[in-house]
Chains A and B, each alone.
Chain A
Amino acid sequence: MQPISTSVSSESSYSKDASTCNNNFPPYWSFHSEARTFSKRQSSRQKPTPLSSYFTKQQPEQRWNKLYPDHTVQVTEQRWAKKSQLMRCRNERTKRPSTGTRKRLHIPDNKTLQKCAQLHHQYSVDLLSNESKVQTLSSNLNRNHHIREPALETKNGVSYQELESTSKDVSPYQSQETSTDDDHFLLIFPRRERGYVTIQAEDVKLLEPCGMLNDNVVDFMLKYIEMYQVPYKLQGKVHFFNSFFFTRLQSLAGHETHHDNIECLSRWTNGIEILSKKFLFIPICMHHHWTLAVVCNPGNILSWNPNYDDPKERPCILYFDSLGTFSFSRNCQRLLRSYLEMEWRKRHSPCQLEESEQTFCVPQENLVLWNVSAPQQKNEFDCGLFMIHYIIRFLQEPPNGGSFTRKADLRVKSWFTDKDIKVFREKIKQLIMDLAKYYASHPTEQLIQNSSI
């Protein structure tokens, strides 16, 4: 039983050991050599880089020249100039007719790429400067935080006006051509896919002690886990729903007069065989509390028989609640059952189904829900981290070796400790910073080039 801080799986890129990094991804720690020398030099001057210096967006040239009158910045800039030149050449070469939209779908357009490069350039230069602009940062964060507040009491005209002006101030959507508006993104992940998650400075701020995680951070981590943390034997056998799936499922099921029924959720998983997976991970955010439902063996909901079949193949739902109240579990079971029934009906065309199966109902004992006794939070803000940590530990070491026959077997209290959660918070923050830094030094074009080989 290893704590997460030592990162169990050998293929995980979580490890600090540079030797574990392969060419496919990205070194979690070991970036290109220049970055390493920079950070060394940085550490000799001042201990850890303050978080705030990651977010400063102003051009630091003047300050830089004063601090380091040597040529480091010029070197960086030359490198970038060369790279952007290369990029431009390549763009010209690989211009495709507009008919090939399917292929181009995942690749951002050239303008965006260059913008990203410039943006990341700014960050990477900023990373080198030790002088933090706390003033700018805090004002930025405050401003953003203000915007983030859902204006629920907008009935009175005053606050509405205020919000109006602020939102216009930040999102000048009047001007279609100006595209400097996405410079508040710190990280775009995964950047070669549609529907990427954007992490902003204020999202990272939630990872400071006592912060409550939001959907951006959770979705980023789910995506990251899906891409780089799934053990080899489970690859292709797990599916991660995003944090809005359950919200949607509940809102669809809760409104009988809704225009759509639950069947429109099948479009969320187009091209993915949900019923052939081993585990489905469903993050649930209800009443400002993150919990986790894991559906095991969803494909066997009709066929599994307790008398003949392998207990490891048993279809069931495991419900993790870091507060231990489990008050939502009944509802969760009902909703997931109706979703899986719908999926089953969708994937089996009517001609294949017998008469009795067309109006079937999953038997109660075939989709039991078990509340897992997992490590519990002792405060009011850590549930998001617990939820993500449950997923990571579940992938590494499922309760009772993956066979869920009795509730008594599902005791995983020793999965991790409070201290691990504290470290985990720091780790996620560091991961976001490092990915941002890594992407800055590896423009998208280059990655696409490499991956196509």
Chain B
Amino acid sequence: MMEGLKAEPSTAMSGSLEPSDESKLQITVRDGEGGQMTFRVRKSTKLKKLMSNYCEKQGVAYGTYRFTLDGKRINENDTAETLQMEDGDCIDAFLYQQGGARCESE
């Protein structure tokens, strides 16, 4: 569905800071269906910005997706720097999971 969808929300994310900054990383967010979205993020920017931006682009509320880097959850206060992310790293996005009993209409 979202195959090949590329977003460059760099203008939205850089805010009032200077636009040309070599410390920006290109980070790809993948979902379970093979869709990808690429973001350019400053190293010191909180990843919450990326996460809420992604949710917004997907048309869902913030908190619907959980984000992990190599299986570890990404939290709002993490930055690319604290997670030691590199250019081209991938983040996995998961829909939040809830379960009680099997849905019979599967």
Contact = CB atoms under 8 A, between A and B. Distances in A.
Q: Is the interface of B mostly helix, strand, loop or mixed?
A: loop
B34 to A, nearest CB: 5
B99 A148 contact: no
A247 to B, nearest CB: 6
A289 B66 contact: no
B61 A149 contact: yes
Interface stretch (A33-41, A50-58, A191-199): A191-199
Contacts, number: 160
Interface stretch (A82-90, A166-174, A365-373, A390-398): A166-174
Contact of A108 (B52, B63, B77, B101): B77
Nearest to A155: B59
Contacts of B45: 176
Contacts of B33: 251, 255
Contacts of A441: none
B71 A182 contact: no
Contacts of A112: 77
A242 B59 contact: no
A176 B59 contact: no
Contact of A214 (B59, B75, B97): B97
A258 interface: yes
Interface in B22-75: 30, 32-34, 36, 45-46, 48-49, 52-53, 55-56, 59-64, 66, 68-75
Nearest to A266: B70
B77 A167 contact: no
Given A258-B34, A383-B101, A171 B68 contact: no
Contacts of A213: 98-100
A368 to B, nearest CB: 24
B77 to A, nearest CB: 6
Most chain A beta carbons < 10 A, residue from B63, B70, B92: B63
A173 B32 contact: no
Interface of B: 15, 30, 32-34, 36, 45-46, 48-49, 52-53, 55-56, 59-64, 66, 68-78, 81-84, 90, 92, 94-103, 106
A228 interface: no
B61 A288 contact: no
Most chain B beta carbons < 10 A, residue from A163, A198, A206: A163
A218 B97 CA distance: 10
10 nearest CB pairs, A to B: A195-B72, A268-B71, A212-B100, A381-B100, A251-B32, A380-B101, A289-B102, A285-B97, A214-B98, A154-B59
Contact of B59 (A151, A218, A248, A325): A151
A92 interface: no
A333 B81 CA distance: 38
Given A182-B76, A287-B106, A147 B100 contact: no
Contact of A215 (B53, B69, B96, B100): B96
Contacts of A218: 97
A241 B71 CA distance: 9
B73 A197 contact: yes
Nearest to B105: A287
Nearest to A327: B102
13 contacts: A105-B84, A147-B62, A151-B64, A179-B77, A181-B48, A195-B69, A213-B98, A215-B96, A219-B73, A288-B99, A289-B103, A383-B99, A384-B99
Nearest to B31: A251
Nearest to B104: A287
B76 A181 contact: yes
Contacts of B36: 259
Contacts of A336: none
Contacts of B71: 195, 241-242, 244-245, 248, 267-269
A117 to B, nearest CB: 15
Nearest to B3: A257
A150 B64 contact: yes
Interface in A104-127: 105, 108-109, 112
A249 B45 CA distance: 30
Interface string A176-220: 100101100000000000111110000000100000111110110
Contacts of B60: 150-151, 154, 163
A409 interface: no
A149 B48 CA distance: 19
A254 to B, nearest CB: 9
Nearest to B79: A109
A224 interface: no
A174 B15 CA distance: 8
Given A154-B59, A242-B71, A167 B52 contact: yes
Contact of B32 (A216, A248, A264): A248
A13 B66 CA distance: 29
A270 interface: yes
Contacts of A148: 61, 63-64, 96
Contact of A288 (B63, B75, B98): B98
Given A109-B77, A251-B33, A258-B34, 7 more contacts: A146-B61, A181-B76, A214-B97, A215-B97, A247-B97, A259-B34, A285-B98
